[in-house]
Each structure stands twice: as C-alpha cells, then as structure tokens.
Amino acid sequence: MRKRLFILFTFPFLVPCYFLSAQDQLSKQDSLILLRKELAHLKSAQMIIRARLDSLILKFYQKEDQTKTEDGLGKLLEEANQLAEREKEEEIHLSKKFQSGVRQQQGLNPNISLGGDFFGARSSSNHDFISDPGYISYGNNGFFMREVELALESPLDPFTRGKTFISVTKDAISIEEAYMEWLNLPLNMNLKIGIFYPEFGPLNRYHDHALPQFDRPRALVNLFSNKGLGGTGLSSSFMLPEILFADASALDMTVIHGTDTGDNFSFANTGLLYLGQFKNYYDINQNSYFEIRLSGVTGINPSAGDNRSYVGSLGLTYKWVPMGREKYRTLDWRTEIFYSYRNEIPGTIKSKGFYSSIQNKLNARFWISARIGYSELPYDNNQHEWDYTVNLDFWQSEFVFTRLQYQYNRRFRDMALVPIGPLPDDHSLLLQVCWAMGPHKHEAY
C-alpha cells in the first residue's frame, strides 16, 4: 500500500524529467550534425580559396618571367641597333676613305714555313763509303745538317691548290716537290701535275723529317735510293665504289720522268716511270683502322738495251688511336713486302725485300719505335743486307722533336764496281733534332 502511494506521489515529477533528458539528447545530436555540415562547408571553401591563391601566385611568376624576358630582348635589340648604327657609320667613313688594297693582297699570300733537320751520328765502322753522306747513309762520325726545307702552301681557288717544298743542303738547292692539284673533278677524280712523290706504298710520300725512323728502310733505299721514288709528271687519283667490303677504295695512276732513283731505273733520253696503286681502307672500330695497298712501277733499267725493271709492293698499315685518349696513346704499324723483276741480256734477276715498322706512343711527349728490314739488291740477288733499328722520340711540341736512334746493319755485299772490297757490318748511334717555323708541322707531306 505504501509503495503504491509513493509511486503515485512521485510519478508526476519523474515523467517531466524523463521527457526533458530525451529532448536534450536530440538537441545535442542535431547540433553535432550542424557542426559537421559547417566543417565540411568550411573545408570546401578553404580548398577553393587555396586554388585561387595558387593560380594567382602562378600568374605572378609567369608575369615576372615574361617581364625579365622582355627586358632581355629589349637590351639585345638595343645593342643590335647600336651595332648597326656603328657599322653604318664605319661604312660611311670607309666609303669616304681611299683604300689601297694592301691588306687584301696579303690575304692571298701562301702559308710559308721553314724547317730544319740536324743530326749527329757515330758509327763503329770507319769505312768511307759508309761514313760519307751518299748512297749508303746520310753521314756518320760527325755532325750534319741533312736539310733545311722551305714550304709554301696555298689554295689557289675553290678548285685547285698548290704546294712547293724547296730543299737546301750543304751541296745544293733543289726543288723537292712543286705541284698543283685539281680537286673534285668528274668521276671522283683528283689530278696532280708538277714535281712530286707519287703514291707507292705506305712511306714513299713521306719527307725525310716526317719518317717514323731517321732513315728509310734499306729495302726502299736499294730500290729507289735515299730520296725515294719521285719525279716530274702527271698523276690521277680516283675514289672507287666500295670493293671487297672496304669502307673506302682508291686507284692512283702516275707517269713521271724520275729523278735519281738508285740502280734500278734509268732516265736517260725519254725514260719514263709508270706507276699504279690500289688502296683499300677498312674501319675496324671507332678506335682503329686497317689499310691495304697494292703498288707497282715499271721503267727502263740501266743495263744495256731497252730492258725494263718491274717492282711490285704489298703494303699493310694498322693504326690504333683510342678515342678521347689520342693525345697520350697511339699504335702505328706498317709493313711492306717487295718483289723486283729485272730484265738483262744475260737473263732475268728476281729479288725480294721487306720492312716492318712499329711506333708506340707512351704518353703526351714520348714515342718508342722499332724496325726490321731485309733487302736483296735488284741487280744481284746474291747480295743482301739486314737492318735493325730502335729509336726513342721526345716531342717538345708539335713543332720541335728530338730523336735518339740505335741501328745495326748486317751486310753481305761485295762492292765489285769499286775496288774497296766487301762492306762491313756496323753499329751506329744517332741524335736527331727537327724543328719547324710556321704552319707546316712535321706531317707526311
């Protein structure tokens, strides 16, 4: 009874409290929802504002760059206008001034240079035929000025060029080479006329100061003398299509009236030399190449009658020059094999010879080289000689170099034409200094 009275008495107070707490919970949930909506709205508004700010900043930087570019272009245009005004003023000034044309004439002058080739040599033999400058050697047991060379080179016009090399020695002044060359004629041809060394093997075109060793191999000397194979005449060179998978091929044909070329050819009366060379060039890779030359020459020999001599040559060249290191490393190998066929009244004489030369660049200044050679005399194949050479070169610059060379000659020669008996073997030591004044460096030619 009491519990019922308590419930009846408290019920009017509990019911309003219950409804009030429920309403408070509903109002709190509504306020959270509203807050979330407001936060989402604020985030979206913030993103829009940020995007607008980014676009404004980008436009500002673009405008600043454009202003800088326009300022730079304006400065360049201003400078160009100033230069144009100066050129106009100079043209007006020069047009009122008399011009003699002296400067233009100087521009037509050829490149002029002067080179010297000095050496001192000591031989174990005191034989006059070996020690005195001449057929066997350039000189021994003394100091010698082998040559002073005056070089003049110039393009004559867009189609021709001219070169002249004057040799001055103790005994004579002579023209070593003097020729004009037409370039890029029809049929991929170049044409040369004058006094020159024709294409024959790897070394014939080289001047003495540019040889890989001090002297020429004995095989070349016995066939064509110390001066090499040269003379006055006409030469044509053709670039051929690729033959035998070569990267380049060339054919050279030459007719010359030769100068002093040893004991193998005679140039009395109308004696002419006829030469031909076929050359194939192969690129092995970006650092090396290989070259093959087939050469031949024929002419009247000094024996009685109109007998002819024939000389054939196979020349091989390999060169390695590492890309980017060519200043410090190079390897150059040359080999040439000769076969001589000589007609005479008693019969034919067949002789052979070869040389092989290698050069190795040790660094930017020093080269070391070696050569071996064998030669049978073209007029007597029972007489022959071997030559062995080692040399060290120091290049002070591209215009000055010094060479120290050792050479051993082993001779099986009987000087039957001169009553002096057989020639002895000898060891020789040589010091050579070469220099060049002017644009003509120690190149091949």
Count: domains in the chain: 1
- Phi first, then psi, for residue 131 (nearest 5°) are -75, -35
In our burial notation (b when 16+ CB lie closer than 10 A, e otherwise), range 399-420 reads bebebebebebebebeeeeeee
Helices (H) and strands (E) in the chain, counts: 4, 16
Range of the domain at 395: 189-426
Residue 179 binned pLDDT confidence (cut-offs 50, 70, 90): very high
State both tokens at 98: 């008399």
**Residue 367 near residue 359, CB atoms below 8 Å:** yes
Residue 407 lies in a domain: yes
Residue 179 lies in a domain: no
**pTM for the full model?**
0.73
- The 10s digit of each residue's pLDDT in 387-432 is 999 999 999 998 999 999 999 999 987 765 444 568 889 999 999 9
As a whole number of angstroms, the distance between CA 430 and CA 403 comes to 8
Residue 173 lies in a domain: no
Residue 149 binned pLDDT confidence (cut-offs 50, 70, 90): very high
Lowest mean per-residue pLDDT among 19-28, 306-315, 394-403: 19-28
Residue 337 lies in a domain: yes
Nearest CA among 291, 185, 189, 313 for reference residue 240:
189
State both tokens at 351: 């002789």
**Residue 162 near residue 140, CB atoms below 8 Å:** no
More confident residue, 204 or 46: 204
Identify the bridge partners of residue 277 per DSSP, sorted by sequence position.
252, 295
**Strands 288-300 vs 273-285: parallel, antiparallel or unpaired:** antiparallel
Residues contacting 252, CB < 8 A, separation 6+: 198, 199, 235, 236, 237, 238, 275, 276, 277, 279
Q: What is the pLDDT of residue 42?
A: 82
Residue 111 lies in a domain: no
As a whole number of angstroms, the distance between CA 368 and CA 357 comes to 11
- The distance from CA 432 to its chain's CA centroid, rounded to whole angstroms, is 24
* Straight-line distance from the first to the last Cα atom of the chain, in angstroms, rounded to the nearest whole number: 143
Residue 205 binned pLDDT confidence (cut-offs 50, 70, 90): very high
As a whole number of angstroms, the distance between CA 351 and CA 223 comes to 10
As a whole number of angstroms, the distance between CA 197 and CA 173 comes to 18
Average pLDDT, the chain: 84
Residue 99 lies in a domain: no
Q: What is the pLDDT of residue 1?
A: 58
CATH number assigned to the domain comprising residue 271: 2.40.160.10
Residue 157 lies in a domain: no
Residue 128 lies in a domain: no
For residue 102, pLDDT beyond 70? no
State both tokens at 396: 């002070």
Nearest CA among 351, 356, 358 for reference residue 413:
351
